[in-house]
Amino acid sequence: MTLIAAIVQAEATGILASALEQTRALAVEAVAAGADLVAFPETWIPGYPVWLDVCRDAGLWNHPPVKELYRTMAEHSVVVDGSSASALGTIARDCGATLVMGVVERVPSGTGYGTLYNTLLTYGPDGALLNHHRKLVPTYTERLLWGQGDADGVMAVDTPVGRVGGLICWEHWMPLARQAMHQSGEAIHVAVWPTVHEMHQVASRQYAFEGRCVVLAAGGLLQARNLPSSLEPHPDRVTGPDQWVMRGGSAIIGPDGQYVVEPVYDTPEILLAEIDLDDCRREQMTLDVGGHYARPDCFSFTVQRGRRQ
């Protein structure tokens, strides 16, 4: 089976309404170029908070500008049972494509109200939400913003283009999370990152080789001029307004760990590649960590499904 896979590498708007319009326009462009599957980066809506790492005082616990940025992020986040998530489903349906994207998720009421999550959503070409995964462990400064997720969405799901799964950023260094994904029978894995820098490239390529699956490594973009004006850029990390503080680095990797599309940095682009899923089967001859290389007689492994309250 062959398909066209696409990664959208662009700057997020930070505003929910315009982000939905931008998502539609970019998805339509990708599908017009032939894409059957379109992937967007980590927290594409409303955008990754790279200011945590490149601005002075961004990590202060009780800093009023940071609190206001958190409030703004919550205002423009996605409610999975709300109109914003429905709008994403409509985009997938109108495009007739499988859609995978990172969002910041807001819980609107009840248990967990006030907590945001780093979330990965997968939509089928009929607009149905097929998978809802919350990042298991927010990394480093992210813990100021996002709550811990759960294993409810740590799995691949059936789509017309094969079984599609995904993990978020440093989850690719969690061996048991990887194994849970491998055992769910992925054909295509969407690895979302803020920027796919060198070590993230290593993790993405290793995942493809280990899982014998195609990996879409999706990275975001942001120029320093678009950092929050309420925070001062750190002089050791930001050299000028034209600097890319998020550099993209998106790439498409085959099930042998080799690049199908080499990493693209410092420019907006829709990466496209024709994928032959039969290559996954060919590579499984030598390694299948969820099958003939699993040795269940020696090792046992379970996943605690269910939404964490």
Catalytic residues: 42, 135, 169
Cα–Cα distance, 135 to 155 (Å, whole number) = 13
- 46: cis peptide before it, omega within 30°? yes
Cα dihedral: 263, 269, 270, 275 (round 10): -20
State the Rg of the chain over Cα. Answer: 19
